[in-house]
Structure 1
Amino acid sequence: MATTPKSWTSSAPLLLLGILIGLTGPADARRPKKDRDPQPEPAPVAPAPKPVTPPIALFDAPLPMTVGPMVPGLANTTAQACGACHFGTHGTWATSDHALGWRDTRFTEAVRLASTPACTQCHLPFLEQSPELVTYDADDVDKPLAGANPAFDASLRLEGVTCAACHVRDGKIVGPRPPELVGTSPHPLAWSEELTKSEGCATCHQLTWEGAKTPFYDTYGEWERSPYAKAGITCQDCHGGGGAGSTAPFDHGMPRETGRAVSVLLDLPSLTIVRGDETPVALGITLQNTGAGHAFPTGSPFTGIRVRARIVGPPDRKGVPYEAVVLEHDLGRTLTDGPPWDVTADTRIPAGGQIELTADLSVPYGAPEGDWALQVDLLQTAAGVPVDAPPSLSRELPLSVE
């Protein structure tokens, strides 16, 4: 007679029980889905309050403007008062081009060479910031006249494009969002769409003199014609920190690092130069505008960039390092001598564009041998003259001289 393995007989009752449970299952699982006990609905999400406060025009009058009435809750209208609470924002603004623009080396040198007070209207946007008021003889922009300003505020002058220039109007703090979306505030609030749009920057960064065929300042126009505008990338996306699409807090330092705007590409067939060689080493330099949504450089035609390439060697017997400039090229614009100051030449790099420069590298036989370097510097200029400031960008490539 056949026998059943012990393992089967001992586990058969458990196996049968498992099959029965699997066939029947929990009572609720066997009920049609529509007949099951209803589940509680998720709590509805409260919709965001709809803005009811209309936006204001941030710059509805020519510059310079007046500070206006005091904002309730502020001790004064200088950036110092704002910094008491907004100390992080104040810290980044304090070293920005906005804060330092009126005493920037290139600006002061350009104003000195141009011999005109007209430039202060954007660099010092409040009437109270200038000890003199600028007017024009019969609206002639070539004849600015300056008179004493009884409302001059020396404290405001220190701050250049101060907080209130963009964030105070009619005794209210102006932000980029409607007050209904902000919540509680110790100050009365207003809002302006211009704070988040490139059009708001155009007030100072776009200027065409009456009768001119070309803009004097064309930064906004350069952006408007660029692929950046077509892609919806605004001035604030690049100069507010974080880049396009970023949700990071706005950076009032207004970053504009040259290294983010320009790529410097070097082309050399060899890193070795033979002293006295009749055949020089050919150097190629390509400058690409890879990160600026406008021309490089941009802004005032009185300022520009000089590309300088030089080879630098070890010191000679007198301790003087050998140095030879092999290339200089200016990026900028040339204007007519008088109004309406039309542009007669433009050597800048448009957004997405590039230029190619060439030079020959050679070292005389009597120069020291050893470790040398090729240095490419981008120097800031004012009225075509390099200013006393560090290069805005430098690249150094080691060379060997035999």
Structure 2
Amino acid sequence: MITLNRLLLFVFSLLLCGQAQAVSAVEKRLDNQRLTPLFSPHRATTSSGKPIGLHQFEDARVCSGCHTEIYDEWRESIMSHAWNDPIYRALLNKASVATGGELDNFCTGCHSPVGLTTGRITTAGNRLPPELEHPDEQLPGVDCEACHNMSGISGLDNGAYILQAMARGESLKLGPRADASSPYHQTQYSSLHTSSEICGTCHNVSHPLNGTPIERTYDEWYESPYRQAGIGCQDCHMAKISSKAAVMGPLRQDRASHWFAGGNTTVLEYFGRTRNAENARKLLQSSAELALLEPPAELRPGARAKMSVKVSNTGAGHKLPTGFPEGREVWLDFRVLDAGGNELYRLGRVVNGETEPGTRNFKVHLGDKDGKEVLVEVWNVNHIISDNRILPKGYEVVDYEFAVPADAEGPLSLVVDLNYWPFSQAFADALLGEDKIEVLVENITRLEQQIPLGQAPPWRPSPDGMTGDSGRHR
């Protein structure tokens, strides 16, 4: 017979199990890692619990003397432009003004870790357009010191990194190799620098005032098949190459490249970083595939046609797209052409700097407290309205329906482009003014297929008189 005490113990155990299951794998790993942030509302701190003297940090150009190739790669990267990125600075200015400076540290802490931890961030500086900054006053972006002084993390969002504080005259650099040595500075092996967690500190972003998960690139990877297969962030974004880490160092077959290639060709081209823009295009082109499901044997003039396109995330170790939710958009530009190349149907144009209404896209939509979509003022976000982005190794099926003109000449050509941009032209124009920056539409992949045109069916009126297009996005 079960006693009352044993029954209560059994029920209590079930409750504990339920609570454990309600906590995500990422949250479980952070139970004992939380520290009080020194630069609130950003979560960064230092090993001393105090701001770090500017004397401790070298200019990246000093590092280039020995680490020449690494410096050249980094200089072409988005990381090196994290502070002077015009889109970021325009948003930072708006956020600073709108919140009375409340978010100044929060925004800047991941775009200039050295600027944050040395206490150089000011409201006036955050509101100054980058082109008006004096070169000597400009904060570094995510530079050599930001990563190679990182001694630990206290969490996996909102910049929860710990930068190592050192006495004057000391110089210690942390990295992924136990056999590294330098005549200029001390070196120390760091397991953190071999882990994706070093990326997770800034590539997870929660709203600092209400906790809304704004960006979750690290979590998307963590819950993906890629982590389970042992493939980390660095494997794609810091791909291994045969090279020297330093001019006097040994040739290594697995030196991590420092291009930090992503998808933002627009900002790279804006700064003239053409080589790395090509790296970004190659990465984008490896991320997805298109397929036409059950293609029709033929289409008939005067009839309605239905087609389904499968969009597969085959190469991105996170959702497609990921990051910066106000901007990132992947979409289908679906076209049907006749034998003469005339466009019979299209959905997915760019009109007035945005994808046209009805476009089948993959994107996050953010909302404010009144339920309205937030397009620019991300500081007003308090919930996610919708998120139809494609999971790693996942897919979505998109349906199209259109009318084939009675006088169409075949065969018909189906052309489907899967496109990407980091933000729309309308978004950039709203922040910077018209024509200040050209937003590039990058083609991820294209599907082309010819479909024969058969005989026209006997004419009969449509029951509902519809001659336009309709579609659903599953």
Task: Give the letter aligned to residue 122 of structure 2.
Answer: L
The equivalent of 1:219 in structure 2 is 217
Alpha-carbon offset, residue 183 of structure 1: 3.6
Larger Rg computed on CA atoms? 1
Question: 2: distance between equivalents of 1:313 and 1:103?
Answer: 44
Question: 2: distance between equivalents of 1:322 and 1:174?
Answer: 61
The equivalent of 2:143 in structure 1 is 162
Question: 2: distance between equivalents of 1:354 and 1:304?
Answer: 18
Equivalences for residues 73-222 of structure 1 within 5 A: 77-102=58-83, 107=88, 119-127=107-115, 133-134=122-123, 154=135, 157=138, 160-168=141-149, 169=164, 170=166, 172-177=171-176, 181-210=179-208, 212=210, 214-222=212-220
Alpha-carbon offset, residue 197 of structure 1: 0.9
Q: Percent identity?
A: 22
C-alpha distance 67-217 of structure 1, shift in aligned 2 (>3 A):
farther
Equivalences for residues 339-378 of structure 1 within 5 A: 339=380, 341-362=382-403, 364=405, 372=413, 374-378=415-419
In the TM superposition, what whole-angstrom CA distance separates every residue of 1:63-111 from its partner, at most 9, and x where no partner exists?
Answer: 597573246xxxxx33323223322212222222312344557656766
Q: 1:124–1:130: 8 Å Cα contact kept in structure 2?
A: no
Question: 2: distance between equivalents of 1:95 and 1:266?
Answer: 38
Question: 1: distance between equivalents of 2:227 and 2:59?
Answer: 34
C-alpha distance 258-313 of structure 1, shift in aligned 2 (>3 A):
same
Q: 1:124–1:157: 8 Å Cα contact kept in structure 2?
A: no
Task: Give the letter aligned to residue 123 of structure 1.
Answer: H
Question: 1: distance between equivalents of 2:69 and 2:82?
Answer: 20
Question: 2: distance between equivalents of 1:314 and 1:78?
Answer: 59
Gaps of 5+ in 2: 1-34, 46-50, 99-103, 150-163, 242-251, 263-282, 349-357, 369-378, 429-438, 454-474
The equivalent of 1:331 in structure 2 is 362
1:390 aligns with 2:454: no
Question: 2: distance between equivalents of 1:112 and 1:377?
Answer: 33
Tell me the number of residue pairs that the alignment of Structure 1 and Structure 2 aligns. 322
C-alpha distance 220-120 of structure 1, shift in aligned 2 (>3 A):
same
The TM-score with structure 1 as length reference comes to 0.63
C-alpha distance 308-288 of structure 1, shift in aligned 2 (>3 A):
closer
In the TM superposition, what whole-angstrom CA distance separates every residue of 1:231-266 from its partner, at most 9, and x where no partner exists?
Answer: 3332222222149xx962101112342233322223
Question: 2: distance between equivalents of 1:95 and 1:203?
Answer: 22
Alpha-carbon offset, residue 382 of structure 1: 2.9
Task: Give the letter aligned to residue 266 of structure 1.
Answer: L
Which of 332, 336, 350 is the matching residue for 1:308?
332
Which of 44, 49, 55 is the matching residue for 1:69?
55
Q: 1:273–1:362: 8 Å Cα contact kept in structure 2?
A: no
Question: 1: distance between equivalents of 2:93 and 2:339?
Answer: 38
Gaps of 5+ in 1: 1-56, 72-76, 136-144
The TM-score with structure 2 as length reference comes to 0.55
Choose 297-306 or 96-105, whichever is displaced more: 96-105
The equivalent of 2:288 in structure 1 is 262
The equivalent of 2:436 in structure 1 is none
Question: 2: distance between equivalents of 1:380 and 1:108?
Answer: 19
